[in-house]
């Protein structure tokens, strides 16, 4: 092994370690924090639910994986499988906007009441009978 080659190896080693560190950090990156993501769409819960029930394909393009601030009246608050979820009134009693709340907003959500108008921010995932939003945080209540 020549002297030049040894120097090159020693010189490149920190770069290699740094690259490994970056890869590891990228691999272990946690999901994004909703609070720091810029809002894409602001909409009422009844309009959001109506958009999906009217044309799911178009609504998927318009809303899925977008960060949405949704405002609406609380139909129900549930605590199932250790998850707090706020159901906002949709365009009728059969369809709602389901907001799965992050642990950081759980204490505030516990104090909310049925019928109260709230604004939540989360990531829209799509539509079953209800619009599903995950990683939701309470903006105001």
- What whole-number distance in Å separates Cα of residue 122 and Cα of residue 102? 9
Establish if 36 lies at the interface with another protein (CB under 8 A): no
Establish if 134 lies at the interface with another protein (CB under 8 A): yes
Selected range binding another protein among 14-22, 39-47, 75-83, 103-111, rule: CB under 8 A: 75-83
Establish if 125 lies at the interface with another protein (CB under 8 A): yes
**C-alpha atoms less than 13 angstroms from C-alpha of 57 in its C-beta half-sphere:** 0
Question: Which residues have CB under 8 Å from 70's CB, separation 6+?
Answer: 42, 43, 44, 45, 48, 88, 97, 99, 119, 120, 121, 122, 133
Establish if 94 lies at the interface with another protein (CB under 8 A): yes
Residues that bind another protein (CB under 8 A): 26-32, 60, 64-65, 78, 80-81, 83, 85, 87, 94, 98, 100, 125-126, 128-130, 132, 134
């Amino acid at each position: 092994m020549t002297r030049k080659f040894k120097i090159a190896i020693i010189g490149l080693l920190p770069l290699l370690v740094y690259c490994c560190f970056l890869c590891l950090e990228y691999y272990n990156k946690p999901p994004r924090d909703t609070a720091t993501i810029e809002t894409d769409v602001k909409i009422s819960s009844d309009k959001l639910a109506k958009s999906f029930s009217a044309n799911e394909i178009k609504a998927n393009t318009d809303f899925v994986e977008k960060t949405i601030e949704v405002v609406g009246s609380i139909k129900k608050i549930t605590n199932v499988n250790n998850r707090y979820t706020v159901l906002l009134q949709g365009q009728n009693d059969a369809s709602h906007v389901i907001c799965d709340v992050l642990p950081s907003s759980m204490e505030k959500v516990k104090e909310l009441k049925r019928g109260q108008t709230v604004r939540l921010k989360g990531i829209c995932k799509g539509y079953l009978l209800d619009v599903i939003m995950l990683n939701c945080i309470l903006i105001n209540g």
